Amino acid sequence: MTIHIGAEKGQIAETVLMPGDPYRAKWAAETFLTDAKLVNETRGMLGYTGTWNGHRVSIQGSGMGMPSLSIYANELIRDYGAKTLIRIGSCGAMQHRVKVRDIILAMTASTLSTPSSGIFKELNFAPCCDYGLLSAAAAAAKSLDVATHIGGIYSSDVFYDERPDLTEQMTRHGILGVEMEAAELYNLALRHGVRALAVLTVSDHLLTQDALPSADRERSFGDMVDIALKAAFA
């Protein structure tokens, strides 16, 4: 057990999928895993462990924002021996060519600040994903015939942003989408020598104001989980 994860030693797999929403963790575990068992419910942040195609997998909610993600990723790596962490979440598109329901594979994650900023001090560190996971995820998405975009994203430390000037510059510089967790996940993975990737479903669009209808969310999120699992064990 740790402060925030109630699982016993050995109950967490080396491969962990990390949705922000704990109920999305529950849905993904029940939908994709065999013999999924609840191993954590501390503070309502649900975590499950089961198998996928014979491979042991955990799915652990991370909460909203980089500080929350940092807590769970640190404990998963340090105390439970996680070696592969894949964020599965939603994001907002920032390019016209990126459409609602598309998948974004985050090669890099730009940010104004993360919980790791105090370590880097004046350095503008550029966190990136694991290339092996990225390549495998791209192949998996192609096999599913899912519209997929690979490139940089923005990890915001606020949800209700009031910086249209910053959004304009990120769009100008090719940032594909915005979410709130991946940059810190990449920082921690690089620091501890483990693999990380963010596989994101576009649920809304900052430029067109389109949004994914609730009735279509399960199908689209299912593609994201499928890609993440196939990438983890390619």
pLDDT at res. 219 = 66
179 is in an annotated binding site: yes
How many angstroms separate the CA atoms of 177 and 61, rounded?
21
Closest CA to 15 of 2, 42, 33, 27: 33
56 is in an annotated binding site: no
Which residue among 79, 157, 161, 204 is the active-site one?
Answer: 204
88 is in an annotated binding site: yes
pLDDT at res. 115 = 93
pLDDT at res. 161 = 85
Structure token pair of residue 193: 């020598």
Q: Which residues of the chain have pLDDT under 50?
A: none
How many angstroms separate the CA atoms of 9 and 63, rounded?
22
User: Which residue is listed with tokens 């299912």?
Assistant: 222
Residue 178: strand pairing partners: 92, 154
CATH fold of 15-232 reads: Rossmann fold (3.40.50)
Count of other CB atoms within 10 angstroms of residue 165: 8
143 is in an annotated binding site: no
CB of 16 within 8 A of CB of 86?
A: yes
How many angstroms separate the CA atoms of 16 and 226, rounded?
14
pLDDT at res. 218 = 67
CB of 109 within 8 A of CB of 183?
A: yes
Active site residue 130: no
pLDDT at res. 162 = 85
